[in-house]
Amino acid sequence: MSIEKWMSKNIIALDIDDDLAKAKLAFDEHKIHHLLILNGKELAGVITDRDLYKQLSPHINTRNETPRDTSLLRKKVNLFMSRELVTAYKDTTLNEAVLLFYDNRISCLPIVNDDFIPIGIITWRDIIKIVAVQYRHKQLGQHTKA
């Protein structure tokens, strides 16, 4: 079974020159944990919400916010994104994807085409959901046979 069936095709991406303020807005607005970073149309990196919040002050948007806190939001995402990308193609099997997650200790797997343009994304949470759905389906099948 290929991951094309399970990947999200709703890609939330930023440009390599966008700032952390735009990343924070995207994470907050879309309730996601991974942003793909593009250089033109090509995948250049990934930034996670953890990458972002490690950089930001807890005082952002509070009365204790300082000019230094807000200046961090103007820094470019390319300074904090992961450039060591592990990617897959839409015909990658689910088992191969699981091994990519495990062997590379990653939390998301961008799905790219031959031109390295992202066409989807799958996360470790998606993998857990797939396994849970398959297991539940198997359990229900066993209960109806009895």
> What per-residue confidence (pLDDT) applies to 146?
44
> What per-residue confidence (pLDDT) applies to 53?
86
> What per-residue confidence (pLDDT) applies to 78?
95
What value, to the nearest 5°, has the Cα angle with vertex 76 and ends 110 and 10? 30
Q: State the total domains in the chain.
A: 1
Q: By C-alpha distance, which of 126, 86, 115, 105 is closest to 3? A: 126
Q: Which residues of the chain have pLDDT under 70?
A: 59, 143-146
Contact yes or no for 61/143 (Cβ under 8 A): no
Over residues 84-102, the pLDDT tens digits come to 999 999 999 999 999 999 9
Where b means 16+ CB within 10 Å and e means fewer, 14-35 reads beeebbbbbbbebbeeeebebb
What is the residue range of 47's domain?
Answer: 3-145
- Residue 25: give its domain's CATH number: 3.10.580.10
Residue whose token pair is 């990519």 = 100
> What per-residue confidence (pLDDT) applies to 58?
73
What value, to the nearest 5°, has the Cα angle with vertex 34 and ends 31 and 36? 125
> What per-residue confidence (pLDDT) applies to 54?
86
